[in-house]
Amino acid sequence: MKTRKLVLIAMFVAIAVAGSTFVSFPAGIARAYPIQHAVNVISAVLLGPGPALLIAFLTGAVRVFIGTGSLLAFPGGMIGALLAGIMYAKYGKVWLAAIGEVAGTGILASLVAVPYAKVLMGTELGAFFFFPPFLISSASGAVLGVILVSRLTRNSEKRLFN
């Protein structure tokens, strides 16, 4: 069981990194990377809050190391993944995992990004700079995640993930 979970974690990190490289769109003054947020919702539902948080952290680390992401990938992905996992674990509803992703990334992470960006990135941008792109990216990814996790779990939950 532990090997299967590790393989799924590695697979989700790979999907999130590759998806973030190839799928993005303009969101105001920044770019939206919805695949990371879709992976957050899917991993929160299928694996739980801890693994979802780990996947978001590893994805952010890989993206920073290969130059396709900024340091904002950490709070942007991790807070949403954790909140999505907690919401799904507590209530068992996929749509609440999506709400957790949007609230965690779109709202909380955009607020955390302000002091984070000042200390670690040397920029003094306000919360309204981060709010629109974080919200657009997380909302579009959360919708995609709900669609995909609904398809994945419809007939194969017991065979593939337990």
Please give the share of the chain, as a percent, with pLDDT higher than 90.
Answer: 48
The listed range with the strongest mean pLDDT (107-111, 136-140, 143-147) is 143-147
Half-sphere exposure of 120 (CA within 13 A, CB side): 12
- CATH for 2-13+33-161, options being 3.40.1450.10, 2.70.98.60, 1.10.1760.20, 3.30.300.30: 1.10.1760.20
Give the mean pLDDT of 144-159: 78
**Each residue of 53-92: pLDDT tens digit?**
999 999 989 988 988 766 667 777 889 999 999 999 999 9
Distances (CA, A) of 35 to 77, 129, 134, 158: 11, 21, 13, 25
Which residues 6+ apart lie within 8 Å of 109 measured at CB?
75, 76, 78, 79, 80, 130, 134
pLDDT higher for 153 or 78? Answer: 78
Residue 29 in this model has a pLDDT that exceeds 70: no
**pLDDT at res. 44:** 95
Where in the chain are the domains? 2-13+33-161
Residue 161 has pLDDT above 70, yes or no: no
Would you state the pLDDT for residue 53? 95
